[in-house]
Amino acid sequence: MNNVQVHDKEFEILLENDSINKRIRLIGIQLNVDYENRCPVFIGVLNGSFLFMADLIKEIDIACEIGFIRVASYHGTESVGEIKEAFGLPTDLKDRDVIIVEDIVDTGQTLKYILAKVQQQEPASVTVCSLLFKPAALKEPIAELNYVGFEIPNDFVVGYGLDYNGLGRNLKDIYRAV
């Protein structure tokens, strides 16, 4: 595998697309079992989760609905801790089972913000499904984080929906900065 260049940074392979797809299949199977005879609402967090969400939904064979929320808390390679909501949640989540789909959970600040917004609508249940999780970066535990594709080191990553200043989302593998 060759390294890739995105903007001024060089990245090396961390997770190959084949491994990502196998893990997503397993998460999909688990969600199908856990939500059998229910109709969850999947809420993808844009922009990063769009590829993960699309591939995950293809593995879901139970009745479900799909929505998106867009938030931003990153600038360059650092989480700036300031959250700007660009467009919001579905407004009909009362008594629904909600599955928030994230590309990555690192500090957890963005996710805490989203969870608070979802809880205001009094859903029946809320769970989080994230492709990547950086335990070393997490500021405080997130009880709702029940489905994780891969735990990774606290490295800056790009590819498979994750970007570096807008670029790299289209890479089919996930790379880490070298």
3-state secondary structure 89-115: CCCCCCCCEEEEEEEEECCCHHHHHHH
Residue 45's DSSP bridge partners are 69
Higher pLDDT, 90 or 125: 125
At 169 the three-state DSSP class reads: coil
Q: State phi, psi for 125 to the nearest 5 degrees.
A: -155, 155
Higher pLDDT, 29 or 85: 29
Average pLDDT over residues 27-32: 98
Q: List active site positions.
A: 106
Percent of the chain with pLDDT over 90: 82
- The reported pLDDT for the residue numbered 90 is 80
Higher pLDDT, 85 or 177: 177
Report residue 171's pLDDT band, with 50, 70 and 90 as the boundaries.
very high
What fold is seen in the domain 4-177? Rossmann fold (3.40.50)
Task: Sketch the domain layout of the chain as residue ranges.
Answer: 4-177
- The reported pLDDT for the residue numbered 80 is 54
Report how far residue 55's alpha carbon sits from residue 86's, in angstroms, rounded to the nearest whole number.
24
Residues 6+ apart with CB under 8 A from 73: 79, 80, 81, 82, 83, 84, 109, 110
Report how far residue 40's alpha carbon sits from residue 66's, in angstroms, rounded to the nearest whole number.
9
Which H/E stretch holds residue 54?
helix 50-58
What's the chain's average pLDDT?
Answer: 92
Average pLDDT over residues 125-129: 98
Q: Are strands 65-75 and 78-87 parallel, antiparallel or unpaired?
A: antiparallel
DSSP state of 37: T
Dump pLDDT digits (tens) for 60-117: 999 999 999 988 655 555 555 566 655 678 878 999 999 999 999 999 988 998 999 8
Residue 85's DSSP bridge partners are 71
